Amino acid sequence: MANLSEFELIDQYFGGQIASYGVNLGIGDDCALLTVPQGRQLAVSIDTLIGGSHFPKNADPELIAERALRVSISDLAAMGADPMWMTLAITLPSAESQWLAGFSRGLFRSAEEFNISLVGGDTTRGPLAVTLQVHGSVEPEKAMLRSEARVGDIVFVTGTVGDGAAALAVIKKELEVGKSAFSYFMSRYYTPKIQIRPMRALADVSRCAIDISDGLLADLGHICNASGVGAVIEAERLPLSDPLRKLTDSETALNWALAGGDDYQVCFTVSPNKIARLEELQEQHQIECTAIGEIVRGKDCVCLSEGRVVVPERTGYKHF
Amino acid sequence: MANLSEFELIDQYFGGQIASYGVNLGIGDDCALLTVPQGRQLAVSIDTLIGGSHFPKNADPELIAERALRVSISDLAAMGADPMWMTLAITLPSAESQWLAGFSRGLFRSAEEFNISLVGGDTTRGPLAVTLQVHGSVEPEKAMLRSEARVGDIVFVTGTVGDGAAALAVIKKELEVGKSAFSYFMSRYYTPKIQIRPMRALADVSRCAIDISDGLLADLGHICNASGVGAVIEAERLPLSDPLRKLTDSETALNWALAGGDDYQVCFTVSPNKIARLEELQEQHQIECTAIGEIVRGKDCVCLSEGRVVVPERTGYKHF
């Protein structure tokens, strides 16, 4: 399929999608034309995944697409925004139809789950890379910002932490696991569960959130920096999954939970006077979240275990 | 500077920009938050330039940035949209401060010219590539679409064509040129002049436009496909620059003009009853454009020279 031109490629694998809300003009012109719902702000986030770095080059293209979209959608979730549209810039060493068919299948399956439509893109030849920009909308006063943590707020995290780093070790075959654990970690890595509706509900009680991509301590550190506060969390309160506890010793598990990254859970803060309302929302929307600490004066973001500061080995994934 | 983290890198080279119109939240959170002017549509376009393919890997980073932004802005111009915001996903083999300083200088210089602000991005380590998404706004009835050419419309092109391909030959040193010609073609390649205001004015008389990135015949062909029409243009009417005429024989020049690509001029169509108004606009806004042919029934897009069909050697740049 070396002669498949860019235009045929786009038509064949990425065209023909049903236009969704607010799409005045989709794929196939110089620009896509979009209408943001009246009175709402546009929320945008762009992310690149590099083959051989953010996923194995020989990974299943369906899973690459699912991971790429979920990693991006996670930023909308952490903002409390509704997904609307995406654009895709994909770079491929060659236009292999089987690879493309798998990729588009994975992309559109996830797109349907999150109710987001592909409105434009660019295909180029080169080393494997996937760049997605996601566009969402949010009510002006409902966006959850890194800068809105206040001293006294309780720090929460959704789901469990540490599974992203554990999954990477499993996928890289640094650890031996049974079939069911392998399948658990594969799905944590490639198809992390992004909770769009629960996060929108949380915007009623939280003004401050971030998604955990760099590692819990690093990402909570971004909140502290942006808000001019400090934070203290407790190792014993961190929600760890059973597969993680079974996979490794408690020290490694704690390290991954604090500094592993790639969890795509959300860390958020809630003022003490809104905890009762949060509990109502948790029940109403089946929100899984755990209180892990508190926002304090200062600028340090620390984790205590039995009163002593835990210093994880690796604080967040650094690209350079 | 191998230890420069992503966060320091973003702060140092891409932060600190003055927030411009409609930016509620810029760089530094999970998403940027933006307000599209009331009653206008959002126009978005994403483009990737690969090092070693779309520009030489050792090219001046200032020029890489200028070209990347202009190539993207060209899509907004062809739509008649006002530039507003951009996001940047940049992949680098290593974080070299000198390279980054040059790139950001070029990016912000062009950004100032087009009144567009950087609102978000992602930096990754890998083979050199630059992906830019530009966001503009346009009045709903003013966007110029590929699908709006009508039989009888006159076909126009802005500026001159063929310089993009000539410039590539010059840069690749396939042709020897003097100092002033070299400088002309370098600027045509790296800093093509994108005419935002003239194109917005043209939206008064044109409903159909496309930017010339793949080559005049290929891009006019996209118009024909999308509009369900054919087009006939005349070789003798194509606007060629003096440096191009001096650089090569007339056959090569014609070939580059028709099929060379990378011109970033705009091809647009105007109904005959609006030609008088177009001429007024041309004078008022100093719009350089040339009538080169006509939209006809059918679906073929051809160029005639003295009554015979010209078949260029290469019809548009194909990425795969």
Test B124 with A211 for CB contact under 8 angstroms: no
Test A34 with B42 for CB contact under 8 angstroms: yes
Test B4 with A320 for CB contact under 8 angstroms: yes
Whether chain A has a CB inside 8 Å of the CB on B315: the answer is: no
Q: Which residues contact A69 (CB under 8 A, 6 or more apart)?
A: A86, A107, A110, A111, A114, A116, A132, A134
A213 contacts A74 by C-beta, under 8 angstroms: yes
Q: Is the pLDDT of residue B319 over 90?
A: no
Q: What is the C-alpha separation between A170 and A97, in angstroms, rounded?
A: 29
Instruction: Extract the annotated binding site of A for ATP.
Output: 121-122, 146, 213
- Tens digit of pLDDT for each residue in B250-262? 999 999 999 988 9
Q: Please, what CATH class does the domain formed by B6-138 belong to?
A: alpha beta
Test A46 with B79 for CB contact under 8 angstroms: no
Contacts of B41 in chain A (CB under 8 A): 24, 33-35
Nearest CB to B120 within list A45, A74, A88: A45
Q: What is the C-alpha separation between B136 and B85, in angstroms, rounded?
A: 7
Average pLDDT over residues A250-257: 94
Q: Please give, rounded to a whole number of angstroms, the shortest distance from the CA of B259 to a CA of chain A.
A: 15
Helices and strands in chain A: count of H runs, count of E runs = 10, 13
A-B CB pairs within 8 A amount to 219
CATH code, residues A146-310: 3.90.650.10
- Tens digit of pLDDT for each residue in B172-197? 888 889 999 999 999 999 999 998 98
Q: Is the pLDDT of residue A1 over 50?
A: no
Query: What tokens appear for A220 in the block?
Result: 């909570």
Q: Note the Cα B184 to chain centre separation in Å.
A: 17
Q: Please give, rounded to a whole number of angstroms, the shortest distance from the CA of B182 to a CA of chain A.
A: 28
Amino acid B141: pLDDT: 87
Q: Which residues contact A142 (CB under 8 A, 6 or more apart)?
A: A80, A200, A203
Q: Which of B21, B31, B76, B116 to probe by mutation at the A interface, max A CB count within 10 Å?
A: B31
Test B318 with A127 for CB contact under 8 angstroms: no
Whether chain A has a CB inside 8 Å of the CB on B19: the answer is: no
Q: What is the largest CA-CA distance in chain B?
A: 64
Average pLDDT over residues A245-273: 95
Test B91 with A147 for CB contact under 8 angstroms: no
Q: Which of A29, A94, A116 to probe by mutation at the B interface, max B CB count within 10 Å?
A: A29
Q: Is the pLDDT of residue A233 over 90?
A: yes
Nearest CB to A6 within list B2, B44, B318: B318
**A residues 52..91 contacting B (CB < 8 A):** 52-54, 74-76, 78-79, 81, 85, 87-89, 91
Nearest CB to A34 within list B44, B95, B209: B44
Average pLDDT over residues B51-77: 95
Q: Please give, rounded to a whole number of angstroms, the shortest distance from the CA of A44 to a CA of chain B.
A: 5
Q: Is the pLDDT of residue A3 over 90?
A: no
Instruction: Extract the annotated binding site of B for Mg(2+).
Output: 30, 45, 47, 75, 122, 211, 214
Nearest CB to A121 within list B34, B46, B49: B46
Q: Which of A4, A9, A24, A42 to probe by mutation at the B interface, max B CB count within 10 Å?
A: A42
Test B131 with A143 for CB contact under 8 angstroms: no
Residue among B147, B135, B145 nearest B40 (CA): B135
Whether chain A has a CB inside 8 Å of the CB on B97: the answer is: no
Contacts of B19 in chain A (CB under 8 A): none
* Buried-exposed string A204-213: b where 16+ CB fall within 10 A, e elsewhere: ebbbbbbbbb
Please determine, for the modelled complex, whether the ipTM score is greater than 0.90: yes
Contacts of A74 in chain B (CB under 8 A): 30
Q: What is the C-alpha separation between A138 and B33, in angstroms, rounded?
A: 9
Write out the DSSP string of chain B: -TT--HHHHIIIII--PPP-TTEEE-TTSSSEEE-PPTT-EEEEEEEEEEBTTTB-TTS-HHHHHHHHHHHHHHHHHHHTPEEEEEEEEEEESS--HHHHHHHHHHHHHHHHHHT-EEEEEEEEESS-EEEEEEEEEE-TTT---GGG--TTPEEEEES-SSHHHHHHHHHTTSS---HHHHHHHHHHHHS----HHHHHHHTTTEEEEEE-SS-HHHHHHHHHHHHT-EEEEEGGG----HHHHHHS-HHHHHHHHHH------EEEEE-GGGHHHHHHHHHHHT--EEEEEEEESSS-EEEEETTEEE--S--S----
- Tens digit of pLDDT for each residue in A134-176? 999 999 889 999 999 999 999 999 999 999 999 999 988 888 8
Give the phi and the psi of residue B12 in degrees, each rounded to 5: -70, -40
Q: Which residues contact B36 (CB under 8 A, 6 or more apart)?
A: A36, A42, B22, B42, B84, B137
Amino acid B3: pLDDT: 46
Test A79 with B33 for CB contact under 8 angstroms: yes
Query: What tokens appear for A145 in the block?
Result: 């910002």
Q: Is the pLDDT of residue B66 over 90?
A: yes
Q: Where are the domains of chain A?
A: 6-138, 146-310
Instruction: Extract the annotated binding site of B for substrate.
Output: 54, 262, 317
Q: What is the C-alpha separation between B191 and B169, in angstroms, rounded?
A: 16
- Chain A: residue whose CA lies nearest to B87: A46
Q: Is the pLDDT of residue B99 over 80?
A: yes
Amino acid B1: pLDDT: 34
> For residue A15, how many other CB atoms are within 10 A of its CB?
15
Whether chain B has a CB inside 8 Å of the CB on A227: the answer is: no
Query: What tokens appear for A262 in the block?
Result: 């790639």
Whether chain A has a CB inside 8 Å of the CB on B123: the answer is: yes
Three-class SS string for A111-158? HHHHCCEEEEEEEEECCCEEEEEEEEEECCCCCCCHHHCCCCCEEEEE
- Tens digit of pLDDT for each residue in B199-218? 999 999 999 999 999 899 99
- Tens digit of pLDDT for each residue in A21-72? 899 998 889 999 999 999 999 999 999 999 999 999 999 999 999 999 999 9
- Chain A: residue whose CA lies nearest to B52: A126
Q: Please give, rounded to a whole number of angstroms, the shortest distance from the CA of A10 to a CA of chain B.
A: 12
Amino acid B271: pLDDT: 98
Average pLDDT over residues A121-130: 94
Contacts of B209 in chain A (CB under 8 A): 30
- Chain A: residue whose CA lies nearest to B138: A33
Q: Is the pLDDT of residue B146 over 60?
A: yes
Amino acid B6: pLDDT: 63
Q: Please give, rounded to a whole number of angstroms, the shortest distance from the CA of B75 to a CA of chain A.
A: 5
**A residues 260..299 contacting B (CB < 8 A):** none
Higher confidence at residue B309 or residue B95? B309
**A residues 154..173 contacting B (CB < 8 A):** none
